[in-house]
Amino acid sequence: MTARAAKYALLILAVLVTVAPVYWMITISLKAEVDQFSSPPKWFAFAPTLAHYHDALFVRSFGRYLMTSAVAAVASTVCAMVAGTLAGYALARLRWPGRLDRRLSLWILSTRMFPPILSAIPFFVMMSDLGLRNSVLSLVVVYTGMNLPFVVWMMRGFFREIPREVEEAAMVDGDTRLGALWRVLLPMARPGLAATAIFCLIISWNEFLFALALTQTDASMTLPVGIAGRVTQYETKWGVMSAAGVIAMLPILIFALAVQRHLVRGLSLGAVKG
Amino acid sequence: MDVRLENVTKRFGGRAAVDRLDLAIEAGEFIVLLGPSGCGKTTTLRMLAGLEDATEGNIFIGGERVNDKPTRHRDVAMVFQNYALYPHMTVAENIAYPLRVRRAARGDIEGRVRAVAGLLEIDGLLKRRPRELSGGERQRVALARAIIREPRVYLMDEPLSNLDARLRLQMRGELKRLQHELGTTTIYVTHDQAEAMTLAHRVALMRGGKLQQFDTPINIYNRPANRFVAEFVGSPSMNFIDGQLERESRTFISGGLALTIGESELEMLSAREQVTLGVRPEHVELSMSEREGWTTARVHVTEMMGNETLVFLRLGGERIVARAAGDFRADIDAPVWARFDTARAVFFDIDSGESILKSG
């Protein structure tokens, strides 16, 4: 009984630690500036205001940042998923001489083994030369490259879980390899696809480093860069930043809730043999 | 459609999984590839399907060389050991898949799905998904998917091995009937000799990638090509006794055992002095009382099956199994007398294990 109670206490503590900053951010975004850092803090009782949201979306450019972030995240996720799924399939299923598939897989993964900042400067130079600086396209390219190894590895793992015979049956039944992939394998790997896609989306959506290096104009800035930009030498706009933070959180939260069923199955797919 | 394998070899790395295999299968035949695991039977089937490339040799279907033809153009249908149904599709969609990928007309597909489902008595399951089906039902769906488009050849890879014993027996009969009705060339892989004997027009017995014998079930049983074939087919297995031939007395001698050999058998064995004698359990007759010329033995253990009793004997240094009537009773270690029907015995070369067969 006490062990059970302790377990729950620990869980509640973990939830509190995780959720407390989010709660604090949400309340700050709804508080007038006088209430934000009053002492003692006003946990619940304050007069809520939507002024910061109005400010963020209509006075400042957070609406535009939101669009840029959305384009960068969605486009790069789509690109990485298409290319990574095909590559993952090839590495999982095709015959490679001399275990080349393992070497290639490791090589692909190795691109994620160094700190990303190492490639920030080369990317900056490359994008400048290509005239892609301050354009969302540069972010799409960089995020696609960043997510690709992850997608390749995840999808390779998911495809390996699917019995080979199912695919062979499809080909004996008269389908092409790509047809079998499209009609049989991908529907079977749907939980894996959903889980992988949402990870890509979250990573691109929250990416800060490359966005900061590659985009400086209001028109090309993403939400994280835009939010950070509100910390200036003279003032820190906590209300607007919090409101923008909440806005940034919502799309991912909604998407995650929508695909939650797939997500949970996808995350456990590697462990339990279907 | 006739199927021919010419000198087909498949090597994985350096190991030959299938070694210079020649098989000529006639149109409409039910052929069983039989052998222990790792004998190359499944690899052979997969080469026919185009799922593996032959390292050497030629594969013909309907007189046409198909070595370089991709799987989907070979027009064969395959039933896999674990059924390989498409889990995200309903039964109807599973069965319709081969027609769908060939872009058949929708109305046409529906009619044929219903017809095939009716034939296999799964018309009540069409809306279910594979995970909601029992093993036997899945098996039927896999069969339905194979027969819906009337392919040139059926390939079946141990399709009954995942079913329980009763269902396996039932499906075995139905499969035989189905093949008879459809009349399509069928190549069936199994390690179960009972399935091979009951289903096949001809059995191809393989071992270590090499074909041992390709013949009718009755010839495989009565005239095995070598000791391996004799041992693999038949349950319980054939008894093997190594011994000497004494020509003057026309006897085969092994330990305490002395058996009289007929004139024609002796002639067939020509100048050999050492041979292995093989005798099926049903050709060992038993008696509880002493008889003139019978060999004495002791009961090691008996197994009552109801319809028959298997009697395991100790005879000199040898262990012999005999098939006796269902009402045969003997205590452990009781003395019995045995008679070997040497006219129906098979002799094997003691070194090579090849059988020494009567001509004709």
pLDDT tens digits for range A137-156: 999 999 999 999 999 999 99
Enumerate long-range contacts of A73-76, CB under 8 Å, 24 or more apart: A73/A143, A73/A201, A73/A204, A73/A205, A74/A201, A75/A136, A75/A140, A76/A139, A76/A140, A76/A141, A76/A142, A76/A143, A76/A144, A76/A146, A76/A147, A76/A200, A76/A204
pLDDT at A272: 35
**Statement: residue A263 has pLDDT above 70:** no
pTM of the predicted model as reported, rounded to 2 decimal places:
0.82
% of residues, chain A, pLDDT over 90:
40
**Statement: residue A264 has pLDDT above 70:** no
Taking an 8 Å cut-off on Cβ atoms, the answer to whether A172 and B86 are in contact is: no
Residues of A in contact with B98 (CB under 8 A): 173-174
**Statement: residue A271 has pLDDT above 60:** no
B207-252: per-residue pLDDT in tens?
A: 999 999 999 999 999 999 999 999 999 989 999 999 998 888 888 8
Residue B155: closest CA among chain A residues belongs to which residue?
A: A172
Taking an 8 Å cut-off on Cβ atoms, the answer to whether A175 and B76 are in contact is: no
Closest CA to B187 of B145, B218, B151, B142: B151
Beta strands in chain A (DSSP E): none
Residue A182: closest CA among chain B residues belongs to which residue?
A: B101
Measure the N-to-C terminal CA separation of chain B; round to a whole number of Å: 31
Which of B50, B80, B86 is facing A184, going by the closest CB pair?
Answer: B86
> CB contact, 8 Å: B134 with chain A?
no
Q: Would you put residue B254 in left (φ > 0), alpha (ψ -120 to 50) or beta?
A: beta
Residues of A in contact with B72 (CB under 8 A): 171-176
pLDDT in tens, chain B (360 residues): 899 999 999 998 888 999 999 999 999 999 999 999 989 999 999 999 999 999 999 999 998 999 999 999 999 999 998 889 999 899 999 999 999 998 888 888 989 999 999 888 888 999 999 988 888 889 889 989 998 988 999 999 998 888 888 888 888 998 899 899 989 999 999 999 999 999 999 999 999 999 999 999 999 999 999 999 999 999 899 999 999 988 888 888 888 788 888 888 888 887 788 899 999 999 999 999 988 888 899 999 999 999 999 999 998 888 999 999 999 988 999 999 999 998 889 999 988 889 887 654
Sign of CA dihedral B170, B172, B173, B174: positive
Q: What is the mean pLDDT of residues A16-44?
A: 84
Cβ(B205)–Cβ(B233) below 8 Å: yes
Taking an 8 Å cut-off on Cβ atoms, the answer to whether B101 and A169 are in contact is: no
Q: What is the mean pLDDT of residues A40-57?
A: 81
Residues of A in contact with B80 (CB under 8 A): 165, 168-169
Taking an 8 Å cut-off on Cβ atoms, the answer to whether B78 and A184 are in contact is: no
Q: Which residue has the tokens 């969609």?
A: B93
Both tokens of B204, joined, read: 């191809």
> CB contact, 8 Å: B149 with chain A?
yes
Q: Which residue has the tokens 């729950």?
A: A8
pLDDT at A113: 87
Asked if the ipTM is above 0.95, the reply is no
The packing angle between helices A238-258 and A260-269, to 10°, is 70
pLDDT at B360: 45
Residues of B in contact with A183 (CB under 8 A): 97, 101
State the Rg of chain A over Cα: 23
**Statement: residue A270 has pLDDT above 70:** no
The total of other beta-carbon atoms located within 10 Å of residue A124's CB is 15
Q: Which residues pair with A18 in a beta bridge?
A: none
Mind giving me the DSSP string for A24-39?
HHHHHHHS-HHHHT-S
How many residue contacts between A and B have a Cβ separation below 8 Å? 63
> CB contact, 8 Å: B150 with chain A?
no
Which of B51, B88, B97 is facing A173, going by the closest CB pair?
Answer: B97
> CB contact, 8 Å: B76 with chain A?
yes
Residues of A in contact with B71 (CB under 8 A): 168, 171-172
A73-132: per-residue pLDDT in tens?
A: 999 999 999 999 999 999 998 888 888 988 999 999 888 888 888 888 899 999 999 998
Listed in sequence order, the residues at least 6 apart from B16 whose beta carbon sits closer than 8 Å to its beta carbon are: B9, B10, B209
> CB contact, 8 Å: B82 with chain A?
yes
A192: confidence class by pLDDT, cuts 50, 70, 90:
confident
> CB contact, 8 Å: A109 with chain B?
no
pLDDT at A257: 85
Residue B102: closest CA among chain A residues belongs to which residue?
A: A174
Cβ(B330)–Cβ(B258) below 8 Å: no
Cα–Cα separations (whole angstroms), residue A122 to A116, B193, B203 = 11, 68, 68
Query: Which one is predicted more confidently, B200 or A230?
Result: B200
**Statement: residue A239 has pLDDT above 50:** yes
Instruction: Please state the separation of Cα B95 from the chain's center in Å.
Output: 29
